[in-house]
């Protein structure tokens, strides 16, 4: 009975790849020459996976002899994660960061553990640290933005419940926390203003209303609506054929979903289906009518699956996600916006993980900033805006081919 209970307690929501696919901790940290032979033995024993209990004890002894031996700590954390002891893994990875605050492996897996346990704000911050330490990890950009969105969603759900329970101070704290993640979202400022009025904090409510006006001048929508090009209905009919109603549904959608964006991309750029892609394991698209398109965009890393191998077909697309997909597609088509002068968006600093992608889509006019000048990375995308972006990219690509 005890053995079964321990097994249940050690179950982890984190999905790990095969051991051979893990990064060798020595690839990011220096192993002293005197310890190299012993370290290599430990690593090879870990890869073999034959006697993890004894290996864990030997690693503990090895680390105690060398107090700054962060590579040994990481192997120990790997072992903990494989046996489902996430708390022990976190402790070792945290100890690793005390030795080397920029250890990319420790930062990444602390982020993965946080995400798996639905600590989305912490996960987003850790992914940001990985990206700051390693700019080549573009695979984390979408995951980081997803974590930010999920963190905001959790805070808003908790804030709404607190407000419904008349715990106004708690609700205010939660709304303000959500604004630290999405400071330029006028909807969040509006909710906070409504709450402050309810709490009789008139001056603070007025200040929030003023912010809302600055973010949405002239009663504009949350997102600046670009001027849609004159549509050619015959061209649409030729592109979509019997699926023209699918196009109409996408174009009229208040918020476009991930599966709709996949369909839009493949219909506008069918040539990408012929490109060499990396097959992906995706668990939740069996019932989706866009299964083929999803596999195409996921295989080309235009829209990436989540860490648990789900795609989330019906999840709304955020502006940061659309910018990432468009930028990656642009590069795939041979376009580059690096020569364009940087465009100012106060909520997207050069240190932001999505800065290059956002600069590229703004430079080509595929997306626009708000009237306030902000890009609003966490705002959702309407179908009309997504169609506009696809049209603009297709036009840009055709011009470049001439």
Tell me the mean pLDDT per 10 residues along the chain, length 402. 37 81 89 87 90 89 77 91 92 92 93 90 88 78 76 83 90 88 77 90 91 62 45 61 84 94 94 83 90 93 90 93 94 75 75 85 88 84 94 88 72
- What does the pLDDT read at residue 169? 93
The reported pLDDT for the residue numbered 227 is 47
Which whole-number Å values give the CA distances from 105 to 93, 112, 185, 205, 207, in the listed order? 9, 10, 33, 44, 43
In degrees and rounded to multiples of 5, residue 316 shows phi and psi of -65, 150
Sign, CA torsion 248/293/236/392 = positive
Q: Residue 9 has what pLDDT? A: 40
pLDDT of residue 6: 35
Residue 251 · residue 383 · CB < 8 Å: yes
Q: Output the pTM of the full model.
A: 0.51
């Amino acid at each position: 009975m005890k053995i079964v209970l321990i097994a249940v307690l050690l179950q982890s929501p984190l999905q790990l790849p095969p051991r051979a696919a893990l990064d060798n901790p020595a690839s990011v940290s220096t192993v002293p020459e005197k310890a190299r032979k012993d370290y290599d033995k430990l690593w090879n024993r870990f890869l073999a996976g034959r006697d993890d209990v004894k290996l864990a004890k030997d690693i503990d002894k090895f680390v105690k002899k060398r107090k700054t031996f962060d590579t040994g700590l990481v192997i120990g954390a790997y072992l903990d994660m494989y046996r489902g002891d996430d708390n022990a893994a976190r402790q070792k990875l945290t100890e690793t960061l005390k030795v080397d605050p920029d250890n990319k492996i420790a930062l990444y897996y602390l982020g993965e553990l946080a995400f798996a346990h639905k600590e989305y704000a912490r996960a987003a911050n850790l992914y940001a640290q990985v990206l700051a330490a390693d700019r080549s990890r573009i695979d984390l950009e979408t995951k980081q933005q997803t974590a930010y969105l999920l963190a905001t969603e959790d805070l808003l759900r908790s804030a709404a419940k607190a407000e419904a329970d008349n715990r106004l101070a708690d609700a205010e704290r939660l709304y303000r926390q959500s604004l630290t993640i999405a400071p330029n979202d006028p909807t969040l400022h509006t909710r906070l203003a409504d709450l402050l009025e309810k709490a009789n904090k008139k001056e603070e409510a007025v200040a929030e209303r003023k912010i809302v006006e600055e973010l949405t001048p002239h009663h504009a929508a949350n997102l600046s609506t670009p001027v849609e090009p004159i549509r050619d209905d015959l061209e649409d009919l030729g592109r979509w054929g019997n699926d023209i109603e699918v196009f109409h549904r996408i174009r009229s959608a208040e918020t476009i979903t991930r599966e709709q964006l996949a369909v839009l991309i493949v219909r506008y750029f069918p040539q990408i289906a012929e490109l060499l892609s990396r097959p992906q394991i995706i668990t939740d698209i069996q019932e989706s009518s866009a299964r083929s398109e999803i596999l195409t965009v996921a295989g080309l890393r235009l829209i990436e699956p989540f860490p648990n191998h789900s795609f989330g077909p019906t999840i709304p697309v955020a502006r940061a996600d659309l910018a990432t997909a468009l930028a990656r597609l642009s590069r795939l088509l041979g376009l580059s916006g690096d020569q364009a002068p940087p465009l100012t968006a106060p909520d997207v600093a050069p240190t932001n993980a999505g800065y290059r992608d956002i600069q590229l889509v703004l430079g080509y006019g595929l997306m626009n900033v708000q009237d306030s000048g902000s890009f609003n990375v966490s705002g959702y995308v309407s179908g009309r805006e997504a169609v506009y972006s696809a049209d603009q990219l297709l036009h840009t690509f055709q011009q470049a081919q001439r």
